[in-house]
Amino acid sequence: MHGSIPKNKHGWDSANARIKKSSSEPQLEEVSAHQAEQDESDIAGLFQGFEPISLEQTNAQARMLSRVDNKYVVDFGQFEAFLEAAKEHYAVLEIDGLRQFTYSSCYFDDDFACYFEHHQGRRQRFKVRTREYIDSGAQYFEIKLKGLRGKTDKHRTTCDFLVTPRVGGEYLQMLKKIYQKQYNKPMSLDLRPALMVGYRRCTLVAKAGGERVTIDYSLTFAQPGEEDNETRVGNGFIIIETKSENGYGIADTILKDHKVRKASKCSKYCIGVNLIGAVSKNNHFLPTIKRVRENLVATPDINSSCEQAGANPKSDHS
């Protein structure tokens, strides 16, 4: 059962910091925990005018395990305008009175091979992660693959861990079977923890069915095992992801009307491994990474974090 959002699990109630603009290197300026809470309260208030929809209704109307995903990055003002226009077309997911939910994910990779497949725009690529729904404690092992005509195919099963030394056992067998069926070739990577991601999410569901929109904000990124030394992103960087049968949903039209362009290179995993300093080859993601960096509210000592995690801070594939 969903309860109250736990304090300090991902720094939601911790003292925040903002970047103070200057002519030289940006300096971090401390702000209070009250201000951090106020930022999230502002976002929560924007959903009060939406009709609620239950999880059961959401799964019945818009489960969307095979779909076309479009991502957009907006600032707070654009976000407000989008929600105002979307209100008549969408309901908001509500569970036990909550409309915002806290997520934690661990992404798995093999020397960042999955990252570089995405960076190179490979048509046959995949991601593996575990996800914990913090409010309920439910955990899932998830596989996302790029399918035909750009569709994303998602598969998942319950698990009893968020972080494990490597993907193995029944989960590895599941991955190998799905990968072989999808791409007609074996999956041979040795997948180990590569990145921890935390965020808050609200979900909109089209009243007419067949469409879903996720809204992610208050993102955090960290080396596995170094969650206390995380990078935090402020709410001037909000990710809206539309999920529909053909990629031309109502939300896509609203965002286009508001002159918001698709952010084709906006994977949370790809952003995160750059922010923690794990990779150096990132030219395809530079516009998005630049925008994220403009909204950082806290940054760790990257070299220290990588050394403690035993990672190479600058992995690079040719």
Is the pLDDT assigned to residue 270 strictly greater than 80? yes
CA gap 231, 299 in Å, rounded: 5
pLDDT at position 138 = 96
Domain annotation covers residue 48: yes
pLDDT at 280: 86
Q: Which residues, 6 or more positions from 168, have their beta carbon under 8 angstroms from its beta carbon?
A: none
- Which pLDDT belongs to residue 176? 98
Mean pLDDT along residues 264-275: 90
Kindly state whether residue 47 falls inside one of the protein's structural domains: yes
Average pLDDT rounded to a whole number, residues 278-290 = 88
pLDDT of residue 64: 64
Taking residues 57-71, report their average pLDDT. 82
Residue 9 included in any domain: no
Higher pLDDT, 303 or 134: 134
- Per mean pLDDT, which range of 81-85, 118-122, 131-135, 137-141 is the poorest? 118-122
- Check residues 66 and 94 and name the one with the higher pLDDT: 94
How much is the pLDDT for 102? 97
Angular region, 121: left φ>0, alpha ψ -120 to 50, beta rest: left
Question: Is residue 315 assigned to a domain?
Answer: no
How far is C-alpha 306 from the chain's CA centre?
22
pLDDT at 107: 98
Q: What is the mean pLDDT of residues 196-204?
A: 97
Task: Using CA atoms of 78, 82, 85, 86 in order, give the dihedral in degrees to the nearest 10.
Answer: -170
Res 9 pLDDT > 60: no
Angle at 4 between CA 41 and CA 136, to 5 degrees: 120
Q: For residue 217, give its domain range.
A: 20-309
Rounded CA separation 242/282 (Å): 25
Separate counts of helices (H) and strands (E) for the chain: 9, 14
Mean pLDDT, the chain, whole residue set = 83
* 3 domain residue, yes or no: no
pLDDT band at 195 (very low <50, low <70, confident <90, very high): very high
In a domain, 173, yes or no: yes
Residue at 13 is within a domain: no
- The CATH number of whichever domain residue 184 belongs to comes to 2.40.320.10
| pLDDT value for 54 | 96
For the chain, the domain total comes to 1
Q: Is the pLDDT of residue 92 over 80?
A: yes
Residue 253: inside a domain? yes
Closest-CA residue to 258 (of 35, 64, 82, 57): 82
Is the pLDDT score of 254 beyond 70?
yes
Average pLDDT rounded to a whole number, residues 48-74: 87
The CA–CA distances, whole Å, from 104 to 3, 110, 220, 221 equal 16, 20, 9, 10
Q: What is the pLDDT of residue 39?
A: 60
Cα–Cα–Cα angle for 97, 52, 240, rounded to 5 degrees: 100
